[in-house]
Amino acid sequence: MKVKTILVSQPVPKTENSPYQELSEKQKVKIDFVPFIHVEGVEAKEVRAQKIDLNNYTAIILNSRNAVDHFFRIAEEMRFTVPDEMKYFCQSEAVAYYLQKYVVYRKRKIYVGNRTFPELVKIIKKYKDEKFLFPTSDKLKENIPEELNNAGINWDRGIFYKTVVSDLSDLENVFYDILVFFSPSGIDSLFKNFPNFKQNNTRIAVFGNSTVKAATDAGLKCNIQAPTPETPSMTMALEKYIMEVNKR
């Protein structure tokens, strides 16, 4: 069956010339964006209940923009003045760049990994004398604590925000040719909103092994997968699939 409509389970891209816009124009398909999950901040009193005292830490591990926002939000709520000498260990350049929203970049000690968490751990290992705080969501990949512990890092995890299922009731009678997912939480949201969802002729596109597993565990057939050596991005995987089925 030809593809005419796609629903991406994420917010609308902030960049004007996103790969999805190019895909839409090039392949003549309609692409909508609806976040299936969203983030809500945890209150300062809940952070205190986790026995987190911001005065105890000399370095912060930041693996997302959400982590940046909610660390500084909690610091403000706790009336904690983040010291100039605080060290920031960021998983990617995008996260490090985002820090400029809160700190004067050139005056801070900021260390940047090469996109993956294992790469960041290699840098963190060089600073074992620091006491690290890792502000995270309530959902964290199992391998991340293991890697920090195996590296002998002195660290604490603080749950500063939570991943919450969005209300998708507006989509109840709307149907798309392809649904695109980027996390197990997105799959979870689909079935919490629509417990009786049947895939039928809907194609499922998934990004990452954990999302593939969540989809298959839920009884879905994964028609499109990324990243692969041939299609490292979701838009490339979608375009390849659309070109194959729409030319028939």
Task: Provide the pLDDT for residue 24.
Answer: 96
The pLDDT tens digits for 100-158 are 999 987 778 999 998 789 999 999 999 999 999 999 999 888 899 999 999 999 999 99
Task: Provide the pLDDT for residue 142.
Answer: 86
3-30 average pLDDT score = 94
Q: Is the pLDDT of residue 248 over 90?
A: no
Domain boundaries, the chain: 5-36+169-246, 40-163
Task: Provide the pLDDT for residue 115.
Answer: 77
pLDDT bin (cut points 50, 70, 90) of residue 32 is: very high
CA dist list (Å): 88 to 42, 71, 103, 143: 21, 11, 11, 21
Overall fold of domain 40-163: Rossmann fold (3.40.50)
Round to whole Å and give the CA distance between 192 and 186.
10
pTM (predicted TM-score) = 0.81
Residue 138 near residue 116, CB atoms below 8 Å: no
Q: Is the pLDDT of residue 50 over 80?
A: yes
Round to whole Å and give the CA distance between 124 and 114.
12
Same CATH fold assignment for domains 5-36+169-246 and 40-163: yes
Correct CATH for 5-36+169-246 of 3.40.50.10090, 3.40.50.1100, 3.40.50.1980, 3.40.50.970? 3.40.50.10090
Considering the chain, what is the average pLDDT of its residues? 95
Q: Is the pLDDT of residue 239 over 80?
A: yes
The pLDDT tens digits for 186-228 are 999 999 999 999 999 999 999 999 999 999 999 999 999 999 9
Task: Provide the pLDDT for residue 177.
Answer: 98
